[in-house]
Amino acid sequence: MLPRIERMARFSYDLIPDPTEYDYIIRSRYDHIYLKNIAEQLEESKLLLTEDIGGSAPWDTIGSWRMEYDGFAAGTPYTMHHYYQFTDWLPHYYEDDFCKDKLFKAESTLGLYINKIKSFNVKHTRDILGMQITENDYYNRTKPMDSGKSITNKRAVTLQQYKETLKKMHPKIYEKYNVEDMICA
């Protein structure tokens, strides 16, 4: 699922004729609400990301890096150019020694890329409320989720979905890397 979503985002970015004409480029889901003017939070030297419940919260890490939510990012044209190269790196995911026996969820994979592969200077914000669930109800990203059972259960369900998708869509990779025995990360 991750390559498909990231490629669609990259295609949108690639439609910008000359990114250098802009001070900042923002990637945002259409269904987010901003609690204040994010322009005040933009910095030339930092990639601005939003908190994610169970994704990029300080208490939710994998390895030595923080997970990162892919629904929002903002930075200079230079920074965002490198941010969008995530899709170029994704095919090399299994070449990283840390990944050999693990199947990462999307936030873990993006966190690996942003924090370990690219070593971005990152700033996080909680000033983006969340994504819309119904017409008037939003998934609130400003309040940390209990880091106990709910995260573990969410990871287990997500991992099983990833394994099933990989087995169906890429059976050779599934067999080659023995995905069924990979641990959830």
59-118 tens-digit pLDDT: 667 778 888 888 889 999 999 999 999 999 988 887 888 887 777 778 888 988 999 899
pTM over 0.75: no
70, part of any domain:
yes
139-160 tens-digit pLDDT: 555 555 444 445 556 566 667 7
- Dist CA 117 CA 6 (whole Å): 17
152, part of any domain:
no
19, part of any domain:
yes
The pLDDT of residue 28 is above 60:
yes
Q: How many domains does the chain have?
A: 1
170, part of any domain:
no
113, part of any domain:
yes
Q: Which helix (H) or strand (E) holds 62?
A: strand 61-62
174, part of any domain:
no
Domain that residue 25 falls in:
2-145
**pLDDT for the residue 25:** 97
49-66 tens-digit pLDDT: 987 655 555 666 777 888
